[in-house]
Amino acid sequence: MNAQKAAFIQRVQSNAHRLAEDIDASIALMEVYFDRGYNSGGGNVLDDDALAERYITATQLASYVTLAQQLQALRDGEAVTPADYSATLNQVRAL
């Protein structure tokens, strides 16, 4: 295999590894969100007041959790719901 092909394969493998780690981490955060009752209706709700210092809202956090659920479904071969997940990421990510 020539160097160009080998470099391409290395990048694919590296990207796949990071993607799998990020999906697994997102799913783990989703599970913590529900297990600790941070969700609306949970026993330890993360509301807008609690999130204000992080510059996100409870709705935006819930949208991120929905994204994690969709990533889990995609990974597991289940049906996913189309949505503007790019906007969700842009709203909750720290810059």
Q: For residues 95 and 82, what is the distance between their CA atoms, to the nearest angstrom?
A: 25
- Cα maximum dimension of the chain: 58
- Could you give the percent of the chain with pLDDT greater than 90? 96
Q: Would the pTM of this model clear 0.85, i.e. be above it?
A: yes
Inter-axis angle of helices 58-75 and 85-92, nearest 10: 130
pLDDT tens readout for residues 44-57 = 999 999 999 999 99
Provide the CA 9 distance to its chain's centre, in angstroms.
26
pLDDT at 82 over 90: yes
